[in-house]
Amino acid sequence: MNKPWGLTHGLLLVPLVGASDTLVGALVLWLAWTLTLCCHGLAMGLVRKRLAAAQRLVASLVLAASLTTCTDLVIQAWALEWYRPLSLYMGWIALSCVALEHAGFFTESRLPGRLRLAGVFGLLMISLGAVRELIGSGLPLALLAPGGFILLGLLLAARQAWTAAKSPSTLEETPRP
């Protein structure tokens, strides 16, 4: 990734730390996010060329809001038990869609780029969810937001160490996930 994705990718931190305290919760949120982002990207792809720049933002807002509301309602209807702790983060999905659209994520990155973002985010969500659920019963800190931050840091450090150990020559250019 060549562009500075600071803000849009920083937004992913919100659910990464907040919604990953149980494995199933993390999985549900990730699935909802991937699905909504996919539909949003497809629908925007259909109309983007015919819209002026200002209209694009409005279209993206409308799409993201309706898609997220529908996903929200469907999750409520079929998985209310898992919806409760996630309700706060459902609105964030719409924000994430609009921010990614605004930053040009859908126009600039082709399929591999999208899959990569979804894959990395999903992997982090699921591993964080699993680790936090596993040690949360013995160590309540792991279930809180600060504990989530620390674990995320440890996870990234472990990955960094692993990559460095595997190929010491490319240490300088280890990509940031």
Partner 1 sequence: MKNPVGVAILILLIGLGSGVTYFTHLGTAGRIEAQQQALANRTLLDVLPIDRYDNQPLAHPVFTASVTLAHSTLLGGYLATRSGQPSAVLLRSQALGYEGSIELLVAIDPQGRLLGVKTLRQAETPGLGAAIAGWPNAWLQTFTGKSRQAPDDSGWALKKDQGQFDQLAGATVTSRAVLQAVHDALRYFDEHQAQLTGVPANE
Where along the sequence are the contacts to partner 1 (CB under 8 A)? 47, 50-52, 54-55, 58-59, 62-63, 65-66, 69-70, 73-74, 76-78, 80-81, 140-141, 143-144
Q: Is the separation of the CB atoms in 33 and 121 below 8 Å?
A: yes
CB nearer to partner 1: give 67 or 117: 67
> Do 107 and 101 contact (CB within 8 A), yes or no?
no
Residue 140 beta carbon to partner 1: minimum distance, rounded to whole angstroms: 5
Give the nearest distance from C-beta 143 to partner 1 in angstroms. Answer: 7
Token duo for residue 20: 């990953």
User: CA-CA distance, 53 to 49, in Å (whole number)?
Assistant: 10
Q: How far is the CB of 147 from partner 1 (least distance, A)?
A: 10
Q: Give the nearer residue to partner 1 in terms of CB position, either 65 or 130.
A: 65
Q: Are 89 and 14 in contact (CB under 8 A)?
A: yes
